[in-house]
């Protein structure tokens, strides 16, 4: 018997696993290493490295720890004393001292406007801004691109437009409009093609090719969404006549439209409350045993922490599948503080008064509001009518994607928020809504989506500060002093941003549904 004959039984049992491992390693891991090194996807050449800090935000709290990354994934999170040390042939060790290491932010409410309106924003500038702000994944809204994303074909157009332009990972919501409610096959095709869920407006959207829907339309869509286990996101305002609107006469002095109070009065809280009341009735279908079990209703950019939020809390309590977000501008600003004519503050629903701001913070800290999202909605500067200052005619949308981490921390720290809460609002909860199971926390096997930032470092958001939005100073945050400087951002193990610089090439990927 030859020596090799002794090994045949052993090799026979291991041959298939060895073959699978060899093929997988060759086809998956090695191409990633070559891509990271050769194509300029990362500012850090190594694909195996360790990040140290005294403040690492883990599912078990904020602790001194080391996060070890290999390829695109986290392979260990251990105490600093147990972590690999810098040595020849070992992983590179990066010590960030007292800076915070935490999961990258996930923004589920972003308007990147491509294709069709890249003069407003675009995939390249929008995802550069995201990376600079510590946002490692986002979900693009079905409007204000042209065409809007309401069919399979328009989703495929958007996927094609995104190729080679993403610095971070991007998913896509589809749009619910009367046309695809009337033909549920179109809706089914849109979801099957890769839409993570659907977004609808219960009031005019401001975009002609994205008409609004009713509560009945949303109810009709829920069983389709239930088959896929995906959410329905809703802009919850229902237009109703108001005393302010009836008093607006054509001959009134035009300067009145520069008053923020006048604009605020045209979109009263009753709009939001009526919409949410209708939604909570529809949401009963999503309860266990209901005709739309498996679907979910998510209320976007809540400005009303009183009656609207109470209705949502009651719906959750009786088993309806619902969640709710608010946005940074409702947490940072107050109606009585907005100067006349400063239309960069205009958004829908409007920024409310200071007492509502405080109630929103309390609701977040109590867990009644599930998450924060930007509703980053830029436009061409001339649409904001900055010189004219006409709140009634100006585009309603706030540009903020790059600033949300320091904004949330700056306004939240004085109210006692914790780093763990920040991660819950900006990473963990959004990952669940969008169904990103490999994102949202620093754990073994998760995507190495990581932001490193200094909460104690402040900066002035002026013309000298590097801003990567397409229109850099068209934001209500311009001129503010903010705390919380982003040092570095890693998206799936690639260092895509460091101290004002991006990786040479955008290597983010579209995020399609997990089946």
Please give the angle made by the CA atoms of 183, 227 and 272, to the nearest 5 degrees: 70
* CA pair distance 312, 44, nearest whole angstrom: 45
Please give the angle made by the CA atoms of 436, 330 and 256, to the nearest 5 degrees: 135
| pLDDT tens track for 252-284 | 555 589 999 999 999 999 999 999 999 999 999
| pLDDT tens track for 23-57 | 443 444 444 443 444 479 999 999 999 999 999 99
Amino acid 306: pLDDT: 98
DSSP code, position 512: P
Q: What is the mean pLDDT of residues 361-375?
A: 98
Long-range contacts of the stretch 366-370 (C-beta < 8 A, 24+)? 368/309, 368/312, 368/313, 369/302, 369/305, 369/309, 369/324, 369/325, 369/326, 370/323, 370/324, 370/325, 370/425, 370/429, 370/433
* CA pair distance 296, 286, nearest whole angstrom: 6
Please give the angle made by the CA atoms of 254, 260 and 263, to the nearest 5 degrees: 75
Amino acid 209: pLDDT: 94
Q: What is the mean pLDDT of residues 330-352?
A: 98
* Spatial contact of 78 and 53, defined as CB atoms under 8 Å apart: no
| pLDDT tens track for 382-401 | 999 999 999 999 999 999 99
| pLDDT tens track for 68-119 | 999 999 999 998 788 777 777 789 999 999 999 999 999 999 999 999 999 9
Amino acid 86: pLDDT: 76
Amino acid 515: pLDDT: 67
Amino acid 133: pLDDT: 98
Helices (H), 110-259: 123-132, 152-162, 178-182, 184-193, 215-228, 243-246
Amino acid 83: pLDDT: 76
Q: HEC profile for 305-357? A: CCHHHHHHHHHHHCCCCEEEEECHHHHHCCHHHCCCCCHHHCCCCCCCCHHHH
- pLDDT above 90 covers a percentage of the chain that reads 86
* Poorest-pLDDT segment among 26-35, 227-236, 254-263, 412-421: 26-35
* CA pair distance 501, 42, nearest whole angstrom: 11
Amino acid 82: pLDDT: 82
* Spatial contact of 176 and 151, defined as CB atoms under 8 Å apart: no
Amino acid 417: pLDDT: 98
Mean pLDDT of the chain: 91
Q: What is the mean pLDDT of residues 301-330?
A: 98
Task: Name the one residue in this structure whose structure tokens are 């998510």.
Answer: 298
Please give the angle made by the CA atoms of 385, 389 and 390, to the nearest 5 degrees: 85
Amino acid 254: pLDDT: 55
| pLDDT tens track for 117-130 | 999 999 999 999 99
pTM (2 decimals)? 0.91
* Poorest-pLDDT segment among 100-114, 192-206, 251-265, 454-468: 251-265
Query: Which residues, including other chains, have CB under 8 Å from residue 320's CB and lie 6 or more apart?
Result: 280, 283, 284, 286, 287, 297
* Spatial contact of 323 and 435, defined as CB atoms under 8 Å apart: no
Q: What is the mean pLDDT of residues 471-496?
A: 97
* Spatial contact of 419 and 102, defined as CB atoms under 8 Å apart: yes
* CA pair distance 17, 20, nearest whole angstrom: 5
């Amino acid at each position: 018997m030859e020596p090799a004959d002794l090994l045949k039984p052993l090799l026979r049992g291991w041959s298939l696993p060895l073959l699978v491992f060899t093929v997988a390693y060759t086809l998956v891991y090695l191409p990633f290493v070559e891509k990271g090194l050769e194509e300029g996807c990362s500012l850090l050449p190594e694909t195996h490295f360790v990040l140290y800090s005294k403040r690492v935000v883990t599912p078990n709290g904020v602790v001194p720890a080391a996060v070890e990354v290999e390829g695109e994934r986290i392979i260990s999170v251990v105490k600093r004393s147990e972590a690999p040390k810098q040595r020849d042939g070992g992983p590179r060790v990066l010590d960030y001292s007292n800076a915070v290491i935490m999961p990258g932010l996930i923004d589920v409410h972003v308007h990147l406007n491509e294709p069709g309106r890249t003069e407003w924003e675009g995939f390249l500038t929008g995802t550069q801004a995201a990376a600079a702000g510590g946002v490692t994944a986002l979900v693009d809204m079905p409007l204000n691109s042209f065409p809007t994303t309401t069919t399979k074909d328009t989703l495929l157009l958007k996927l094609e437009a995104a190729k080679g332009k993403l610095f971070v990972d991007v998913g896509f919501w589809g749009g619910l409009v009367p046309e695809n409610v009337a033909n549920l096959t179109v809706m089914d095709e849109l979801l099957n093609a890769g839409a993570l869920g659907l977004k609808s407006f219960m009031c005019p959207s401001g975009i002609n090719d994205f008409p609004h829907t009713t509560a009945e339309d949303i109810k009709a869509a829920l069983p389709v969404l239930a088959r896929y286990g995906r959410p329905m996101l809703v802009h919850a305002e229902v237009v109703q006549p108001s005393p302010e609107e009836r008093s607006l006469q054509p001959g009134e002095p035009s300067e009145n439209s520069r008053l923020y109070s006048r604009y605020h009065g045209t979109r009263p809280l009753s709009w939001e409350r009526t919409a949410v009341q209708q939604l909570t009735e529809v949401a009963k279908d999503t309860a266990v045993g209901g005709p739309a079990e498996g679907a979910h209703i998510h209320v976007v950019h809540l400005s009303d922490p009183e009656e609207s939020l109470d209705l949502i809390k009651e719906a959750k309590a009786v088993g309806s599948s619902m969640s709710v977000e608010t946005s940074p501008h409702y947490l940072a600003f107050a109606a009585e503080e907005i100067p006349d004519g400063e239309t960069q503050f205009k958004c829908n629903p409007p920024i409310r008064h200071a007492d509502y701001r405080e109630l929103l913070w309390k609701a977040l800290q109590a867990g009644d509001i599930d998450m924060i999202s930007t509703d980053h909605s830029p436009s061409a500067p001339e649409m904001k009518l900055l010189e004219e200052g006409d709140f009634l005619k100006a585009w309603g949308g706030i540009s903020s994607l790059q600033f949300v981490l320091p904004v949330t921390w700056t306004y939240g720290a004085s109210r006692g928020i914790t780093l763990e809460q920040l991660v819950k609002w900006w990473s963990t909860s959004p990952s669940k809504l969008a169904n990103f199971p490999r994102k949202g926390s620093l754990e073994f096997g998760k995507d190495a989506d990581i932001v490193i930032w200094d909460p104690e470092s402040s900066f002035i958001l002026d013309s000298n500060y590097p801003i990567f939005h397409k229109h850099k100073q068209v934001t209500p945050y311009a001129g503010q002093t903010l705390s919380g400087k982003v040092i570095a951002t890693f998206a799936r193990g690639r260092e895509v941003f460091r101290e004002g610089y991006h990786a040479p090439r955008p290597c983010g990927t579209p995020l399609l549904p997990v089946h």
